[in-house]
Amino acid sequence: MRIIRIILLICAVLAFGVFGVSEALKLSGQDRLPPKITAETDLVEVPCAYTREELMEGIQAWDEEDGDLTDQVVFSTFSRFLEPGVCNLTYVVFDSGDQAASLTRKVRFSDYHSPRFTLSKPLVYQEGNGTYNDIVAALGAWDMLDGDRTEWIVRTATNLNFQKAGEYSVSYEVSNSFGDSSSVQLPVHVIPVQAGVGGIVLNTGLIYLNVGQDMDPAQYIQAVTAADGTQIDPSEVSISSQVNPQSAGCYEVHYEVTDGQGNQYETWLTVIVEGGAA
């Protein structure tokens, strides 16, 4: 019986030894060094319509076992802006042993500007006929990085009365996922009920200009119609612009026309000039 116990003990020791040697061999053949990512610069400048190649400029990834891993680098999400148009981006790569390496550097969007509002038509309503739903239907917002931000628009103030002719305003704000936001106070005109089906139709209700940029107000006239439905030559429209392209701010262009029966029609284009001190 004693001999049997000794034999079993020897077998157990041998088994343990074989297991230990096996594990040691596995560890000796395992890649213990993680991959590396390097960047030639701490900041890369790209357009808002960037490509992978532009974001990868100066980036290299390497692993002792797997070699060059540059084409396997992936991006995490962009951070919120550190300053307008500048954020952090983290690059990540895995080797064949699922070991990871990461590197974070700044990205500057060279052509970025804050979100902008859009208007499919002027905010001009005949007395007693307009509603806030009409404004919502015409209003939109677009961001160079996020795209359509219309659902993120928030109304912040208004003094509008659709039942009484006059000049009013309504204010909105919109933000993007990078933490940048824009606000605007848009003029709204409530006018007396116009005769027939006449009117001046513009192809937009809102345009943006950079400081110093010229504009031709006539190019935004889409159609001009008399009370009886006949077309009027757009050159007959009287245009009065208060836009100062040298100073940032919100301005208007007034369009007015009288048809052959003496009926008068008017509308307004809103112009926002950006790029200087408002």
Q: Is residue 54 located within the same domain as residue 99?
A: yes
Q: Which residues touch 172 (CB under 8 Å, ≥6 apart)?
A: 117, 139, 153, 154, 155, 156, 183, 184, 186
Q: Are residues 95 and 144 in the same domain?
A: no
> Beta-carbon neighbour count of residue 251 at 10 Å?
17
The residue among 78, 109, 140 that closes a domain is 109
The verdict on residue 150 lying in a domain is: yes
Q: Quote the pLDDT of residue 20.
A: 46
Q: What's the domain count of the chain?
A: 2
165 belongs to a structural domain: yes
Q: What is the pLDDT along the chain (278 residues), one digit of tens a residue?
A: 455 444 444 444 344 443 443 444 344 445 478 999 999 999 999 999 999 999 999 999 999 999 999 999 999 989 999 999 999 999 999 999 999 999 999 999 999 999 999 999 999 999 999 999 999 999 999 999 999 999 999 999 999 999 999 999 999 999 999 999 999 999 999 999 999 999 999 999 999 999 999 999 999 999 999 999 999 999 999 999 999 999 999 999 999 999 999 999 999 999 999 986 44
Domain co-membership, 191 together with 126 = yes
- Same domain for 229 and 140: yes
Helix (H) / strand (E) element for 100: namely strand 100-109
79, 59 contact by CB (below 8 A): no
- Residue 29, in any domain of the structure: no
Position 27 in a domain: no
Q: For residue 224, what is the domain's CATH number?
A: 2.60.40.10
Residue 15 lies in a domain: no
Last residue of one domain, picked from the residues 91, 109, 127 = 109
Residues 123 and 221 in one domain: yes
Residues 134 and 74 in one domain: no
Q: Has residue 226 been placed in a domain? A: yes
Residue 2 falls within a domain, yes or no? no
Indicate whether 263 belongs to any domain.
yes
DSSP string for residues in 13-26: HHHHHHHHHHHHHH
Whether 148 and 268 share a structural domain: yes
Point out the domain boundary residue: 109, 128, 160. Answer: 109
Residue 261 tokens, joined: 């029966």
Are residues 120 and 105 part of one domain?
no
Q: The domain containing residue 164 runs over which residues?
A: 116-274
Q: Give the contacts of 42 (CB within 8 A, at least 6 positions apart).
A: 105, 106
Q: Let me know whether 84 and 137 are in one domain.
A: no
Q: Tell me, yes or no, whether 91 and 141 share the same domain.
A: no
State whether 139 and 66 are in the same domain. Answer: no
Cα 256 to Cα 239: distance, rounded to the nearest angstrom: 7
Whether 223 contacts 208, CB under 8 Å: no
| 99 and 138 assigned to the same domain | no
Pairing of β 116-119 and β 124-126? unpaired
- pLDDT value of position 30: 54
